[in-house]
Amino acid sequence: MSMNSENRNTGNIYAACTEFEVALEDHLQGSLRGSEAATLTDHLQSCVGCRAALADAAASARLLAIAEPSPDPGPGFSRIVMARIRQQLQASEGKSIWRPFVSVAWRFAASAAFALVMMVSFELGRRSQSHSDQSIVAQNRIPEIVQDRPALPASRDEVILMMADTSNGKQ
């Protein structure tokens, strides 16, 4: 027969064989039947530890029988709970009157903030773009070493006038 070799009889605890603890608890509760009951009965005849543990368990049950279960809180309790639930529901409903407005206000504020951010970023982007364009133009500007060429005459009259100017200038 398999037994808890030392039966852990430390102090005053009579420890049962570990493999019989479930059966012992069932036996205590009167729910052990058939072959399991027979096996335990056989075991109890030869095992002092389990016998002592079972006696202890039975004594503990007698001891615990002194205690009384919690009394029924009575019919008033459910009414108290329901009153508390209604109170909480009313409180949450009171808050919820403003909830749609708060929600709309938050949406409006969020949209306005988004629009503002977009406008500011657009403006900043535009400014930085124009600034960079100017700087690019400034960087790429060719120093004016050569003056602008005079425009070519478009008609015969202009040629005559140019010739007249030229001759006047020479004079």
Partner 1 sequence: MPDVPKNMAASASALSLPVSRREKGEEERQLVRLAQSGEEAAFEELIRRHQQRVFGLVSGILRRREDVEDVVQQVFLKVFVSLKRFDQRAAFSTWLYKISVNECWDYLRKKKVRPLVYEADLSEEQVSRLDGVVSADQPPASSSDRAEAKDLLERMMEKLPEQDRQLLVLKEVEGFSVQELAEILDLNVNTVKVRLFRARARLMDVYRRRLHSKPAPPAEGKEG
Maximum distance among all Cα pairs of the chain, rounded to whole angstroms: 152
- From the list 38, 41, 77, 103, which residue makes contact with partner 1 (rule: CB under 8 A)? 77
- From the list 36, 37, 39, 56, which residue makes contact with partner 1 (rule: CB under 8 A)? 56
Binding of residue 68 to partner 1 (CB under 8 A): yes
- From the list 30, 33, 34, 70, which residue makes contact with partner 1 (rule: CB under 8 A)? 70
Rounded to a whole number of angstroms, the minimum distance from the CB of residue 54 to partner 1 is 9
Query: Amino acid letter at 26?
Result: D
Of 56-64, 113-121, 122-130, 138-146, the window that binds partner 1 (rule: CB under 8 A) is 56-64
3-state SS, residue 60: helix
- From the list 29, 96, 111, 134, which residue makes contact with partner 1 (rule: CB under 8 A)? 29
Of 58-66, 94-102, 108-116, 144-152, the window that binds partner 1 (rule: CB under 8 A) is 58-66
3-state SS, residue 61: helix
Which among 55, 20, 54 is positioned nearest to 38, based on CA atoms? 20
- From the list 3, 36, 39, 162, which residue makes contact with partner 1 (rule: CB under 8 A)? 3
Under 8 Å between Cβ of 15 and 7: yes
- From the list 38, 41, 85, 125, which residue makes contact with partner 1 (rule: CB under 8 A)? 85
> What's 19's DSSP letter?
G
16 Cβ partners below 8 Å, 6+ apart?
4, 7, 24, 47, 49, 50, 53, 54
Under 8 Å between Cβ of 44 and 51: yes
Rounded to a whole number of angstroms, the minimum distance from the CB of residue 50 to partner 1 is 10
For 72, the token pair is 């029924």
Which residues in this chain contact partner 1 in the complex, by CB under 8 A? 1, 3, 7, 9, 11-16, 18, 21-22, 24-26, 28-29, 46-49, 52-53, 56-57, 59-73, 75, 77-82, 84-86, 88
